[in-house]
Amino acid sequence: MTSSNNSEFELIKRYFTQLGAQRTDLLLGVGDDCALVTVEPDYCLAISTDLLVEGVHFFADTPAHDLGHKALAVNLSDLAAMGATPAWFTLALTLPSINSVWLQAFSQGLEQLAVQFNVQLIGGDLARGPLNIAIGVHGFVPKGQALLRSGLQVGDKIFVTGQLGGAAYALSRLLVKQAVPPNLLQKLHCPWPRVREGQALLGIAHAAIDISDGLAGDLAHMLNQSGVGACLQAAALPIPDPIKQALGDEAAIELALTGGDDYELCFAVKPSKLPQLHALALDCCCIGTVEPGLGLRLQYQDGSVNTVISQAYQHFSGESDIDK
Amino acid sequence: MTSSNNSEFELIKRYFTQLGAQRTDLLLGVGDDCALVTVEPDYCLAISTDLLVEGVHFFADTPAHDLGHKALAVNLSDLAAMGATPAWFTLALTLPSINSVWLQAFSQGLEQLAVQFNVQLIGGDLARGPLNIAIGVHGFVPKGQALLRSGLQVGDKIFVTGQLGGAAYALSRLLVKQAVPPNLLQKLHCPWPRVREGQALLGIAHAAIDISDGLAGDLAHMLNQSGVGACLQAAALPIPDPIKQALGDEAAIELALTGGDDYELCFAVKPSKLPQLHALALDCCCIGTVEPGLGLRLQYQDGSVNTVISQAYQHFSGESDIDK
């Protein structure tokens, strides 16, 4: 039931036949029934897929360039959370109409990020319909070294990269038509996947997750899968100053714990590996410790402790992803 | 901006955590940031993605079981066209609402076909929005043996599996609310991917494509990519008798050439390999020959020849896929 015309096919060919890095492990790219790739024997392949749907994950007026960037970034973030090195991606795109200006900007957003991370478009599909972007990513990780969610051990120090709450704060401001500081708008529209940090953590961290649905919910996944609990230090949560100033400490902490779309990494390191971590000089900070008692607790500077999450993930979260 | 509640997460977990075959080459499945898989050293990996969008690829009232089947089948058909052995798939699903009856039927449609072809669901994403199903498939093919579109050589005999026009005929009847013979409705709603035929053809055929957009258009891709032409025998086109009886020979031939959604394979075999092909006793028939002059021609029983397609694909077709 699909229909299109000649110029559409030409546009698609122009924007999507050759996109991203030029990889030598790609034997056959866009233009056949499948792509053909090779995987080195000492590596396993990490595979993930993430959707962006208009009205659910982004506003209808989001610039096409940012959408291209973000659609790939949120997928690369999943590779980052395994410590994997990105390689290839596929694109299944549903568009209400063919608009060459939109397609050019969208493909440029994809292209710029793809080149940054040496990842190549290897295939896809396009249909008419409400705007919907499904990307599948593939990357390499040395066998036995991937950073799993289930690897937490009592005594581990818990870290996050970057800062928390920026994307959620930007979204909350956009929803009420208020101005947003440019660096926080950037966090929402053009998140930078922590691929290099994830790769650097191989052999140092032994568990990681990307914080796409908020620190508390995503960390709870790890706690749940590892059968442990954790205590976080409220004062240690890295929150941008403009958010603290605008919301006050308590609401800023709440946002840092629950706000989604940050695409930072949360990871765990044994105390014995801390010197190696510090030597990396990554943009990260320690926010707490893994403990034997189940659940997630938050300790304030006055010594008081609040329970954030009392038990396993599925009893409190708004998660809807089947791969998270 | 995603939102959902606890019971939704439970439903998703119930239907999609464990779906399809249980494969030993899957190191880590649904439930982490990525799946982890291994690829044998003598094989390359074939990767493809195909969309099904409501109102574009299927009617809103199509049974969920059939949609689950078809969404996976059209992807497996791309693997079949390379001669690849299916291994894993991902699912990016956008649904207007969470409906456990629909989800159960949909996942059963996926499950039944996945088990048939020893393929396992390894990850995915779910969001609210207009119904949109994007599957990504992965399969193995021995290095250097994949069936490419570009492999046609002058003198090759051209074959198709099964019969042509059934799905397009069923669709044409449904569009005017007419009854459809059950076997033709099956072709439209539950196509059977020619995976086993594709695998059997490795080393015998040297080019193949899946006919998802109609024989003429898809064969033209092969001719174009191989720099050759072809002549088909009108009388040799395998068309179901009920279609010939309903439409007459001329319109039935037109439908067999242009009707989409058949998901049969079109492949080419050197004359010297014909004995090996016949020994396989596949459900296929010879429909023509590769010739030096560009374009696609159709020869009738009286000896007259019509040009079906005079040059490269993009000048006549309604194709909109970027991987085809």
pLDDT averaged over 10-residue windows placed end to end, chain B, 324 residues: 49 84 92 93 96 89 95 98 98 90 95 97 92 97 94 96 96 92 92 97 95 92 93 97 95 94 96 97 97 94 86 39 40
pLDDT in tens, A14-58: 888 889 999 999 999 888 899 999 999 999 999 999 999 998 888
pLDDT band at A60 (very low <50, low <70, confident <90, very high): confident
Which residues does chain B have within 8 Å of residue A210's beta carbon, measured at their own beta carbons? 33
User: Which tokens in the block code for residue B180?
Assistant: 């459809």
**DSSP 8-class letter at A156:** P
Record: contact A318-B4, CB cut-off 8 A: yes
C-alpha of A168 from chain center: 14
Mean pLDDT value across residues A98-115? 94
Whole-number Å distance between alpha carbons of A229 and B309: 67
Residue B151 is predicted with a pLDDT of 87
- With a threshold of 0.90, does the pTM exceed it? yes
| Minimal-distance CA residue of chain A relative to B38 | A44
C-alpha of B196 from chain center: 13
pLDDT in tens, B123-138: 999 888 999 999 999 9
Break chain B down into helix, strand, coil percent, rounded to 5: 35, 30, 35
DSSP letters of A106-126? HHHHHHHHHHHTT-EEEEEEE
User: Which tokens in the block code for residue A79?
Assistant: 């590779």
Which residues does chain B have within 8 Å of residue A199's beta carbon, measured at their own beta carbons? none
Residue B310 is predicted with a pLDDT of 63
CB atoms within 10 A of CB B131: 21
Nearest CB neighbour to A132, from listed B55, B57, B94:
B94
Record: contact B123-A31, CB cut-off 8 A: no
Residue A322 is predicted with a pLDDT of 41
Which residues does chain B have within 8 Å of residue A148's beta carbon, measured at their own beta carbons? 28, 32
Residue A99 is predicted with a pLDDT of 85
* 3-state secondary structure at position B116: helix
Which of B35, B42, B28, B20 is closest to B86 using CA atoms? B20
Question: What is the maximum span of chain B, computed from C-alpha positions, in angstroms?
Answer: 68
Record: contact A81-B34, CB cut-off 8 A: yes
Q: Amino acid identity of B244?
A: K
Whole-number Å distance between alpha carbons of A46 and B33: 9
Least confidently predicted of A38-52, A141-155, A278-292, B305-319: B305-319
Nearest CB neighbour to A321, from listed B5, B78, B126:
B126
| Minimal-distance CA residue of chain A relative to B31 | A323
The span from the first CA to the last CA of chain B, in angstroms, equals 34
Is the predicted ipTM greater than 0.85, yes or no? Answer: yes
Record: contact A320-B35, CB cut-off 8 A: no
* 3-state secondary structure at position B168: helix
The span from the first CA to the last CA of chain A, in angstroms, equals 34
pLDDT band at A311 (very low <50, low <70, confident <90, very high): low
Residue B8 is predicted with a pLDDT of 58
